[in-house]
Structure 1
Amino acid sequence: MRKAYKYRLYPTKGQIRILNRMLEATRWVYNEALATRKRAWEERHESLGLYDTHSLLPRWKAERPSLKIVHSQVLQNACVRVDLAFKAFFRRVKAGEEPGYPRFKGPGRYDSLTYPQYGNGVRLEGRHLILSKLGSIKVVLHRPIEGTIKTVTIRRASTGKWYACFSVEVEPSPQPVPDAAVGIDVGLESFATLSNGEKIANPRFFRREEKALAKAQRRLARAEKGTPERAKRRKVVARIHERIANRRRDFAHQHSRTLVNRFGIIAFEDLNVQGMLENRCLAKSIADAAWKQFVQYTMSKAAEAGRRVVLVDPRNTSQRCSRCGQLVQKDVSVRVHSCPVCGLVLDRDENAAINILRLGRQSLGANPWKPNPFEGWE
């Protein structure tokens, strides 16, 4: 399985200038590859592929000497990105979705360089990263890299910080599987409710920073375009967004790790978050909660530890009684489930979490109506 490690880089001012020139040169190759494929279709109805654009690189490098400061495989990767953008475009066309034709990258809009083969143009030596045509950059290895390094991506964040992302191939390390299973209902009142009654509070990271962000954005809007002051204020806005994202990511990592350590089977609803974001009243809160990120982190950690994560159909999980199966219709504002048939009175989200666990058991072939939802898992 693949795993990613991300480390902070501390290049010198001279190295930052060279890195920015590398990004601009690679951006030019990306845009030229996109323009070439676009022209070929519009003028000759000819569909160019990845290797057609790869074959043009020597000519582009002869015509544009600035490309020679970038490693050849990094330039090839820019063509790969264009090819992937077209493949995604055609997939959306076939699926009947809004396709979104691949777009050109404006100045400052291309912010990463990928070395597809570790050891070819990039390598680690102690606490320094050696890059071809650049030299040694200090890297903070805050944890050891386990496994075989496959690719390395150098990324420039919107705040001006630089990072190295290592894609590593590792062997799964199964751990003793706990007998307990859990169903999890995610929401806005509480971030998550477990089928055993536990709740994880909703941190609302964006909401907590909303006033500071609005103030910074007003200051940015007042600055004249193209001035150093506007660039400085743009970085303040980017730093607030980065802080929100870091806190949200840390929260998801910590709670997903706790779940994977405690439970052998974890059941979630298979939510269509993109569709839910069309609700204009709740879109900001739903995006702030980042349920999909939490589920993805849990799935990744579970795969490495030998746990099972099950995604179930979310229909009627909040409406169905977890004791007798009766449908009890209730509005979103009703926070307590009260069944008129069996008399069960339970927190709405806990009732949904038990139903999610039942569906998870059912999808794995277990008895969905066992009185003890945690009993019998091997």
Structure 2
Amino acid sequence: MAKVFRYRLRPTKAQVTKLNEQLELCRWVYNETLAMRKNAFEQEGRSVSYFESKRMLPIWKESKPELRSVYSQVLQDVVLRVNLAFKAFFRRVQSGEKPGYPRFKGKNRYDSISYPQSGFSIDGDKLWLSKIGDIKFKLHRPIEGFVKRLTIHRSATNKWYVSFLVEESIDHVIEPSDKVVGIDVGITNFAVLSNGEFIENPRFLLADEGMLKKAQSKRDKLPKGSQERNKANKSVNHLYERIANRREDFAQQLSHMLVTSYGIICFEDLNIKNMTQNHNLAKSILDASWNKLVQYTSYKAVEAGRKVVLVNPLNTSQMCSCCGQTVKKDLSVRVHSCPYCGLSMDRDLNAAKNILRLGLQSVAKA
């Protein structure tokens, strides 16, 4: 199983300068590759392959010698990223989605480089990178398994991180559990468990929205390109980063609790993209980040020997969990009252029980 281990880098000022220079050179290669493929299609009506693009790297190094200061496989990975962007573009065209043609990267818009196979080594809390040297990183947990790929990322607040893609990571199988649970995610409550437990929605964006709007308003009043605006923009980025970190921590801790406690965990297979078409609820849905919880619970379950089941969300809120009859109700109705069997309970708890039932049925058929 593939797994990613992420750590905070501690580069020196000289190393930060070198990393930023490499990002700019990679951005140049990305834009040059994109321009070549775009021009070939518009002027000659042909597509340029990944291998044809890659053959341009030695030629570009002759005209732009500073490219030699970047490890060769890092530059090849940049060309691969352009190729993947075009593949995704053509896939969206074929499926009838809004295609979104690959874009050129503006200054400071290219923020990561990858070492796909080699050019790096790890010695305790030091990371050696070809063309850069030794960089310290905060080894807050051991790296388990064989590192196949390494990515250096610069955040919007100019913090540096390293991510290791590891294959064949050690499984952390825990004591078997015969406990099962169905989980209904929502906005009023972040999640309701079929055992009657309610998990409050932390609403991280709403909590900081006032400060965020104030910081954005202050930034937007300042002249573009000025030092004052750049400083104000850093304050906005810090707020966004804090919100993202809190969401991440919340999802990680909740998913850990679920995997530790239950042998079978059932979620609805929600289409978040379609749900956010409702502009009245889009902000709250995205703030809740339900997909993070499902994603983290799923990979932790595989590692721990648990099972995550995704069920069809159709009518889970409308069906009575006691008698199975359909009881139509608007989203504003928060209590499920069944006129057929007399069951009365919280709407989301009723849905969680239905999700559990459907999940167990799915497991039994498998």
Quote the offset at 1:171 in angstroms.
3.9
Quote the offset at 1:175 in angstroms.
2.5
Aligned length: 365
Matches within 5 A, 1:182-261: 182-261=181-260
Matches within 5 A, 1:144-155: 144-155=142-153
Whether 1:47 and 2:47 are equivalent positions in the alignment is yes
State the alpha-carbon separation in 1 of the partners of residues 80 and 307 from structure 2: 34
State the alpha-carbon separation in 2 of the partners of residues 204 and 224 from structure 1: 33
Quote the offset at 1:201 in angstroms.
0.5
Q: Secondary structure at the match of 1:108?
A: coil
Q: Give the partner amino acid of 1:123.
A: S
Q: Secondary structure at the match of 2:20?
A: helix
- State the match for 2:326 in structure 1: 327
Quote the offset at 1:226 in angstroms.
1.1
Q: 2:122 aligns with which of 118, 121, 124?
A: 124
Quote the offset at 1:18 in angstroms.
1.1
Output one character per residue of 1:76-98: Cα deviation in whole Å (capped at 9) or x when no partner: 00011011111111111111111
Q: Secondary structure at the match of 2:364?
A: coil
- State the match for 2:352 in structure 1: 353
Quote the offset at 1:366 in angstroms.
5.9
- State the match for 1:107 in structure 2: 107
Quote the offset at 1:176 in angstroms.
2.8
Whether 1:66 and 2:66 are equivalent positions in the alignment is yes
Retained in 1: the 8 A contact 2:30–2:82? yes
> Aligned residues: percent identity?
57
Quote the offset at 1:195 in angstroms.
0.5
Q: Give the partner amino acid of 1:179.
A: D
- State the match for 2:140 in structure 1: 142
Retained in 1: the 8 A contact 2:144–2:170? no
State the alpha-carbon separation in 1 of the partners of residues 282 and 193 from structure 2: 24
State the alpha-carbon separation in 2 of the partners of residues 359 and 126 from structure 1: 47
Runs of 4+ in 1 over 6 A off after TM superposition: none
- State the match for 2:164 in structure 1: 166
Whether 1:97 and 2:132 are equivalent positions in the alignment is no
Quote the offset at 1:177 in angstroms.
2.4
State the alpha-carbon separation in 2 of the partners of residues 64 and 9 from structure 1: 29
Retained in 1: the 8 A contact 2:127–2:136? yes
Quote the offset at 1:14 in angstroms.
1.5
Quote the offset at 1:99 in angstroms.
0.9
Output one character per residue of 1:147-198: Cα deviation in whole Å (capped at 9) or x when no partner: 1111110110000111111111114333332101111000011000001110
- State the match for 1:22 in structure 2: 22
State the alpha-carbon separation in 2 of the partners of residues 174 and 195 from structure 1: 25
State the alpha-carbon separation in 2 of the partners of residues 223 and 68 from structure 1: 39
Quote the offset at 1:244 in angstroms.
0.4
Quote the offset at 1:125 in angstroms.
2.0
State the alpha-carbon separation in 2 of the partners of residues 174 and 37 from structure 1: 48
State the alpha-carbon separation in 1 of the partners of residues 146 and 90 from structure 2: 34
State the alpha-carbon separation in 1 of the partners of residues 53 and 365 from structure 2: 53
- State the match for 1:267 in structure 2: 266
Output one character per residue of 1:52-98: Cα deviation in whole Å (capped at 9) or x when no partner: 11111100111111211110000000011011111111111111111
State the alpha-carbon separation in 1 of the partners of residues 309 and 246 from structure 2: 26
Matches within 5 A, 1:279-294: 279-294=278-293
State the alpha-carbon separation in 1 of the partners of residues 92 and 240 from structure 2: 30
Quote the offset at 1:138 in angstroms.
1.5
Retained in 1: the 8 A contact 2:184–2:268? yes
Q: Give the partner amino acid of 1:121.
A: G
Q: Give the partner amino acid of 2:328.
A: Q
Q: Secondary structure at the match of 2:189?
A: coil
Runs of 5+ consecutive residues of structure 1 not aligned to the other structure: 368-378
Q: Give the partner amino acid of 1:187.
A: G
TM-score, structure 2 normalization: 0.98
Q: Give the partner amino acid of 1:145.
A: I
- State the match for 1:374 in structure 2: none
State the alpha-carbon separation in 1 of the partners of residues 156 and 340 from structure 2: 56
- State the match for 2:154 in structure 1: 156
State the alpha-carbon separation in 2 of the partners of residues 92 and 175 from structure 1: 41
Retained in 1: the 8 A contact 2:187–2:201? yes
Retained in 1: the 8 A contact 2:148–2:166? yes
Quote the offset at 1:316 in angstroms.
0.7
Q: Secondary structure at the match of 1:164?
A: strand
- State the match for 1:13 in structure 2: 13
State the alpha-carbon separation in 1 of the partners of residues 314 and 328 from structure 2: 12
Q: Secondary structure at the match of 2:241?
A: helix
